Amino acid sequence: MKYPRILGWSVVITMWVMMAVSLKYMKNSAIHDRAVVETINTAEDMIEWIVEDEASGYIDSTYADTYIDNLEGIIIDLRVTR
pLDDT tens digit sequence for 5-33: 788 888 889 898 888 888 888 887 888 88
Answer for the pair 37, 27: CB distance below 8 angstroms, yes or no.
no
What confidence tens digit (pLDDT) does each residue in 37-76 have?
Answer: 999 999 999 999 999 999 999 999 999 999 999 999 999 9
What domain count does the chain have? 1
Kindly give, in sequence order, each residue whose CB lies less than 8 Å from that of residue 67, ignoring residues fewer than 6 positions away: 46, 50
Task: Tell me the residue range of the domain where 42 lies.
Answer: 2-81
| Number of other residues whose CB lies within 10 A of the CB of residue 50 | 19
Angle between helices 2-56 and 61-81 (to 10 degrees): 160
82, pLDDT greater than 60: no
Cα–Cα distance, 79 to 33 (Å, whole number): 10
